[in-house]
Amino acid sequence: LEICGGRRGACAAADAVMPVWILLSSVPGLKAEDGGMEELTTEKEAEESHRQDSVNLLTFILLLTLTILTIWLFKHRRVRFLHETGLAMIYGLLVGVILRYGIPATSYHNKTPPSCSLKEGPASTLLLNVSGKFFEYTLKGEINSREIHNVEQNDMLRKVTFDPEVFFNILLPPIIFHAGYSLKKRHFFRNLGSIITYAFLGTAISCFVIGNLMYGVVKLMRVVGQLTDKFYYTDCLFFGAIISATDPVTVLAIFNELHADGDLYALLFGESVMNDAVAIVLSSSIVAYQPSGANTHMFDASAFFKSVGVFLGIFSGSFVMGAATGVVTALISFFGLHCFPLLETALFFLMSWSTFLLAEACGFTGVVAVLFCGITQAHYTYNNLSEESTKRTKQLFEVLHFLAENFIFSYMGLALFTFQNHIFSPIFIIGAFIAIFIGRAFNIYPLSFLLNLGRRHKIRGNFQHMMMFAGLRGAMAFALAIRDTATYARQMMFTTTLLIVFFTVWVFGGGTTPMLSWLHIRVKQEYLFTSLFPCRRVGVDPDQDLQPCGDSFQVLQGDGPQAEGQSKTKQESAWLFRLWYTFDHNYLKPTLTHSGPPLTSTLPSQCGPLASCLTSPQAYENHEQLRDHDSDFIRNDGDLTYTFGDTSITANGASGGGGGGAAEPAWSANGKRSGSTSEEALERELDSREQELLSRGTRLVFPIEDHI
């Protein structure tokens, strides 16, 4: 409908909402198919093309179906070396090869399209006058003059090539929202400082290291004569930004399955979620950095600071917007809707979507807003939802996330063969592989050293190596790379990104299990468990799976040196964070949710009337229990292995009285499964009680004096 010319950054934000709207508004319809066009020769062509469209989409659906069936087989046989995303890529590749080489490029167009000349610049709408009848045309974009005669020939390949904005605006939001929404973890909040450091500082370091290294590579290419077109310094930095977004989905899936260390999981997951947001904003700031007027694309202090300003502005704006929508949803859900899970879920979905639209309408980044919206929803709204809605919303976003993720990965496989502007440059590709390795190292090791100075619970060497190893690239890097493939530099970046994603997902993803044992990172044995309840352990969200629930921890090979240092986590959080926690726990949570202590006990006594007005009746009931839970957690948190015996006993008594909903009904039906011994029943009971306890609000772990 409209074109998006000129500077990409400014345009990208405004353009981003388009696809969602397109989906609803710009479908070519039957409006104009009246009388005058009855004898058009294009009718058959249009019909044929529509069928082609649905066949193309069917291809993707069948690809996904095939992937699902194979994953099922793999999960059934406990194959761990290939994750579903890797599999989706392989199937995508195969179909890509077939589409590219298997099918003759038959075109149903027989002639090149008519052309007409104008002196003015291209407008978004063009009227065509054919013997008195007017037809409305919409600008699709510029095409190279060498492609004019190609336009009609490779129709099919063009058709399976999606518009990049689809990835940003339709496929990424559910993935990102789900990541934010499933963040609700003790381990995440315990490591929040480190996660933010890795995500912000680390991604920036990685971006600049990679950018500068690649600039060296580009200079080398120019010397060798391999560079045939322009490649600026800002392009290199842009590449650094897009390739710094890690996505260790494969590694995390295996961690999840093997119940690897919770802190390490939280560090990796948290970092990958946050650095996606950082990479998006960083890349658009770099585009905005372009020194005005000049074509030097070299360093310019004022433009640099402008970029930093843009970064901070967009990021904080999106953050505030996402958090605000989350808080509004929490407030709405606070006042009822409990009895109507369908309404609750629908409202939840609509509010989360409106965050995206609102951010785009205000010129911020929708994806970033959706991430923080997800986190806020999980922190506050989740506590207000009815038991059924918590499950519904989780499952809804789980399905959306699953479909979107696998779609992106299978499209990546396809794109390697169907995308028509690949530029394979061996030097650039090798350079990029080395650069991302060095960039990751400059991110992880120095920052870990700095963080360890402040952390009581140190990030040990084997954890650092694992984080280094888990620097996979995935959906976000791809989406950022495909967003703009107009120039020579961008095309080369796209090809390289694609190869990096393939390599890291297959090689690093596949090597996770060996790496875990090689690095002596302990995992929990779960074979006993899964053999007893084969249907239970898969597809359950990581929130629940990662809670260690017994003493069956063991190290895969040998014994890690992690016994010391674990019992000192209590004081780990910084004062700023502690301040926030106190504020959140004492004032925000009671105001926005039904959990937390009643405001009457936390607000100064002169605010009494206001406090009792804002506190929900339930809060009083919950208060006594919460006291127990919190203090219990804090006292025992140091050593996970010995924690849960205590906890479960305390919690058992407390929650039995409260009668709150258990997290998983299957588990609260104690003793209903036939054939389980009393020990198993006890273990399950402990597990279920613990989940119940954990599901009752985010437990942050550090001492609050008045609770002990």
Take residue 571 and report the two structure tokens written for it: 């004081």
Tell me which DSSP letter residue 108 carries: S
Which lies closer to a second copy via its Cβ, residue 79 or residue 123?
A: 123
Minimum CB distance to a second copy, residue 186 (Å): 24
Cα torsion angle, 634, 640, 643, 647, sign: positive
Which phi and psi (to 5°) does residue 650 adopt? Answer: -60, -50
Name residue 336's amino acid. G
In order of 232, 383, 432, the CA distances from 488 in angstroms are 11, 50, 16
Which phi and psi (to 5°) does residue 325 adopt? Answer: -60, -40
**131 near a second copy (CB under 8 A):** yes
Which lies closer to a second copy via its Cβ, residue 104 or residue 121?
A: 121
**2 near a second copy (CB under 8 A):** yes
For the segment 253-312, give every residue that binds a second copy (CB under 8 A): none
**15 near a second copy (CB under 8 A):** yes
Which lies closer to a second copy via its Cβ, residue 143 or residue 312?
A: 143
Among 81, 201, 300, 398, binds a second copy (CB under 8 A): 398
Among 77, 101, 120, 301, binds a second copy (CB under 8 A): 120
Among 106, 115, 605, 677, binds a second copy (CB under 8 A): 115
Minimum CB distance to a second copy, residue 173 (Å): 13
Q: Is the Cβ–Cβ distance between 251 and 508 less than 8 Å?
A: yes
**10 near a second copy (CB under 8 A):** yes
For the segment 355-374, give every residue that binds a second copy (CB under 8 A): 357-358, 360-361, 363
Which lies closer to a second copy via its Cβ, residue 514 or residue 671?
A: 671
Report d(CA 515, CA 468) in Å as an integer.
11
Q: Is the Cβ–Cβ distance between 498 and 183 less than 8 Å?
A: no
For the segment 471-500, give every residue that binds a second copy (CB under 8 A): 483-487
Which lies closer to a second copy via its Cβ, residue 156 or residue 519?
A: 156
**58 near a second copy (CB under 8 A):** yes
In order of 528, 663, 696, the CA distances from 691 in angstroms are 20, 6, 9
Among 97, 196, 403, 423, binds a second copy (CB under 8 A): 403
**54 near a second copy (CB under 8 A):** yes
Tell me which DSSP letter residue 336 carries: S
Among 101, 104, 110, 140, binds a second copy (CB under 8 A): 140
Name residue 5's amino acid. G
Count of residues near a second copy by CB under 8 A: 155
For the segment 60-99, give every residue that binds a second copy (CB under 8 A): 61-62, 64-65, 68-69, 71-72, 75-76
Among 156, 207, 264, 351, binds a second copy (CB under 8 A): 351
**330 near a second copy (CB under 8 A):** no
Take residue 44 and report the two structure tokens written for it: 């058959």
What residues contact residue 638 under an 8 Å CB cut-off, 6+ apart? Answer: 566, 567, 568, 569, 570
Minimum CB distance to a second copy, residue 506 (Å): 21
**543 near a second copy (CB under 8 A):** no
Which lies closer to a second copy via its Cβ, residue 666 or residue 704?
A: 666
In order of 206, 467, 684, the CA distances from 168 in angstroms are 23, 27, 42
Angle at 540 between CA 467 and CA 89, to 5 degrees: 60
**45 near a second copy (CB under 8 A):** yes
Which phi and psi (to 5°) does residue 183 adopt? Answer: -75, -10
Segment lying near a second copy (by CB under 8 A), choices 44-52, 493-501, 563-571, 607-615: 44-52
Among 293, 604, 609, 659, binds a second copy (CB under 8 A): 659
Structure-token match 């008594």, residue found: 653
**162 near a second copy (CB under 8 A):** yes
**47 near a second copy (CB under 8 A):** yes
Among 544, 601, 668, 676, binds a second copy (CB under 8 A): 668
Report d(CA 117, CA 115) in Å as an integer.
7
For the segment 421-460, give every residue that binds a second copy (CB under 8 A): none
**25 near a second copy (CB under 8 A):** yes
**339 near a second copy (CB under 8 A):** yes
For the segment 163-182, give every residue that binds a second copy (CB under 8 A): 163-166, 169-170
- Any idea how long the chain is? 708
Q: Which residues pair with 70 in a beta bridge?
A: none
Which lies closer to a second copy via its Cβ, residue 49 or residue 566?
A: 49
Which phi and psi (to 5°) does residue 588 adopt? Answer: -70, -50
Minimum CB distance to a second copy, residue 134 (Å): 5
Q: Is the Cβ–Cβ distance between 149 and 339 less than 8 Å?
A: no
Tell me which DSSP letter residue 246 carries: B
**528 near a second copy (CB under 8 A):** no
Report d(CA 476, CA 574) in Å as an integer.
31
H-helix or E-strand containing 127? strand 125-130
**350 near a second copy (CB under 8 A):** yes
Dihedral-angle region of residue 260 (phi above 0 means left; psi in -120 to 50 means alpha; beta otherwise) = beta
In order of 5, 26, 77, 113, 118, the CA distances from 133 in angstroms are 30, 22, 65, 19, 19
In order of 137, 346, 356, 645, 681, the CA distances from 677 in angstroms are 73, 42, 50, 19, 6
Q: Is the Cβ–Cβ distance between 418 and 157 less than 8 Å?
A: yes
Minimum CB distance to a second copy, residue 33 (Å): 5
Among 89, 337, 480, 523, binds a second copy (CB under 8 A): 337
Among 79, 130, 613, 708, binds a second copy (CB under 8 A): 130
Minimum CB distance to a second copy, residue 37 (Å): 3
- Mask: binding to a second copy, 551-590, rule CB under 8 A, as x and -? ----------------------------------------
Report d(CA 140, CA 151) in Å as an integer.
13
Which lies closer to a second copy via its Cβ, residue 114 or residue 609?
A: 114
Among 203, 345, 381, 698, binds a second copy (CB under 8 A): 345
